[in-house]
């Protein structure tokens, strides 16, 4: 095997595919590597931990086709460190040689036969606009749990409703729901549970893209963006009935500028000690009084112009979760709807009803 490629192109492919490789020492050592397949005029780099697979294909100058598996992080770091220009890789006996100008490295490869075989999608693709999917993922994935002991909450539910495809994520403290045009992604009543980790990677791939191809199978989902293919196993668990969390009405509604609230929250979080101190919102007819108090540290108070309809009350939230919700909504103004200080509140962007962010309040003295 021997080929040449521009450093930036090669480094990008190694970094992208390398995010699929495992960092765990308790799994098969070959899963910490990436497979390089050279044929015709292209190089395909594949990384997998068996749950998530990322494959990137880039053009190269081929002198000799072949395949090799190399340590993902080491080779990516080597290529990234090389001087700009052409990089040559060649498999010589028991070593992979990496050469650029006056720099030369030798890396011992892993056994190609030990690397898992990754199949092609079994279903037909659905083409979706990249900008809409990128925005939906940005809004929803942030609410998924990272607690592996509750695996179903580490996924994003994608379900076909009557007139839309709905994306849902929750960690039991907050809930994000985004509706997009139904299209042909799912049939009515069909649903899949996709790992949030995989969708985070998809979101990264969508930057600057115009479209995405999606293949949904019984056990896995495949996302193609440009020359990168990401395959992930679906989560085979029942998702909680999130609809029970949504109150039917909200008697108390405050409307406030999105950036003004975000700025105030950023300042208040300086006193909130890593999110452990709740932020109190005192709701009045023409303003919000935002307050964070940390014993033996200090207090932050700020008044924000707002329009409020409802009974005067004070409600408290985890400042990190509240800021994440305000950041996620679209529009210049946000609407916070509250039943009472002990029941879930809902954030929406004014004029953007396709997305909601539900947040559990924090009990305060």
Residue 35's nearest CA partner among 52, 23, 53 is 53
Residues 17/31, Cβ–Cβ less than 8 Å: no
Residues 6+ apart with CB under 8 A from 92: none
First to last CA, the chain: 69
Helix 130-140 with 196-205: angle, nearest 10 deg: 140
The pLDDT tens digits for 180-221 are: 987 777 877 789 999 999 999 999 999 989 999 999 888 999
Of 343, 341, 346, 313, the closest CA to residue 329 belongs to 346
Query: pTM (2 decimals)?
Result: 0.91
In this prediction, residue 122 carries a pLDDT of: 77
* Contact by Cβ (8 Å): 90, 97: yes
Domains of the chain: 2-114 (3.10.150.10), 126-244 (3.10.150.10), 246-359 (3.10.150.10)
Beta-bridge mates of residue 300? 292
- Spatial distance between the Cα atoms of 272 and 122, rounded to a whole number of angstroms: 50
Distance CA 291, CA 197 (A): 34
Pairing of strands 66-71, 61-64: unpaired
In three-state form (DSSP H/G/I as H, E/B as E, the rest C), the secondary structure along the chain is CEEEEEHHHHHHHHHHHHCCCCCCCCCCHHHHEEEEEEECCEEEEEEECCCEEEEEEEECEEEECEEEEEEHHHHHHHHHHCCCCEEEEEEECCEEEEEECCEEEEECCECHHHCCCCCCCCCCCEEEEHHHHHHHHHHHHHHCCCCHHHHHHHEEEEEECCCEEEEEEECCCEEEEEEEECCCCCCCCCEEEEEHHHHHHHHHHCCCCCEEEEEECCCEEEEEECCEEEEEECCCCCCCCHHHHCCCCCCEEEEEEHHHHHHHHHHHCCCCCCCCCCEEEEECCCEEEEEEEECCCEEEEEEEEEEEECCCEEEEECHHHHHHHHHHCCCCEEEEEECCCCCCEEEEECCEEEEEEEECCCCCC
Q: Report the 10 Å Cβ neighbour count for 260.
A: 17
Backbone angles phi, psi at 314, to 5 degrees: -120, 130
307 close to 252: Cβ distance less than 8 angstroms: no
Q: What is the pLDDT along the chain (365 residues), one digit of tens a residue?
A: 999 999 999 999 999 999 999 887 667 899 999 999 999 899 999 999 999 999 999 999 999 999 999 999 999 999 999 999 999 999 988 899 999 999 999 999 999 999 999 888 877 889 999 999 999 999 999 999 999 889 999 999 999 887 889 999 999 999 999 999 877 778 777 899 999 999 999 999 999 899 999 998 889 999 999 999 999 999 999 999 998 888 888 899 999 999 999 999 999 888 876 667 899 999 999 999 999 988 778 889 999 999 999 999 999 999 999 999 999 999 999 999 999 999 999 999 999 999 999 999 998 87
* Residues sharing a CB contact under 8 Å with residue 205, sequence separation 6 or more, in sequence order: 16, 223, 225, 226, 228, 230
């Amino acid at each position: 095997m021997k080929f040449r490629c521009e450093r930036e192109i090669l480094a990008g492919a190694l970094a992208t595919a390398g995010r699929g490789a495992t960092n765990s020492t308790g799994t098969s050592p070959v899963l910490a590597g990436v497979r390089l397949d050279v044929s015709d005029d292209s190089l395909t780099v594949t990384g997998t931990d068996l749950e998530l697979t990322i494959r990137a294909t880039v053009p190269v100058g081929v002198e000799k086709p072949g395949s090799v598996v190399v340590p993902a992080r080491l080779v990516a770091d080597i290529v990234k460190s090389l001087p700009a220009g052409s990089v040559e890789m060649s498999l010589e006996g028991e070593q992979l040689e990496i050469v650029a100008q006056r720099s030369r490295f030798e890396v011992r490869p892993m056994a190609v036969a030990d690397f898992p075989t990754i199949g092609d999608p079994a279903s037909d693709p659905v083409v979706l606009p990249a900008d809409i999917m990128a925005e939906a993922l940005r809004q929803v994935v942030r609410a998924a749990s990272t607690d592996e002991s509750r695996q179903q909450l580490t996924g994003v539910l994608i379900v076909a409703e009557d007139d839309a495809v709905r994306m849902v994520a929750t960690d039991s403290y907050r809930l994000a729901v985004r509706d997009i045009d139904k299209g042909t992604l799912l049939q009515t009543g069909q649903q899949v549970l996709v790992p949030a980790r995989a969708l985070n990677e998809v979101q990264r791939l969508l930057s600057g893209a115009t479209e995405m191809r999606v293949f949904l199978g019984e056990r896995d989902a495949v996302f193609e963006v440009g020359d990168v293919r990401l395959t992930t196993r679906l989560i085979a668990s029942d998702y909680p009935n999130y609809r029970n969390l949504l109150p039917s009405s909200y008697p108390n509604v405050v409307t406030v500028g999105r950036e003004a609230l975000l700025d105030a929250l950023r300042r208040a979080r300086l006193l909130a000690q890593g999110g452990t101190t709740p932020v109190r919102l005192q709701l009045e007819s023409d303003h919000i009084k935002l307050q964070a108090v940390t014993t033996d540290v200090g207090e932050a108070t700020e008044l924000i112009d707002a329009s409020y309809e409802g009974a005067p009350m004070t409600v408290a939230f985890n400042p990190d979760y509240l800021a994440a919700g305000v950041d996620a909504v679209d529009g210049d103004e946000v609407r916070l709807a509250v039943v009472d200080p002990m029941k879930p509140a809902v954030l929406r962007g004014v004029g953007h009803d396709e997305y909601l962010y539900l947040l559990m309040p924090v009990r305060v003295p």
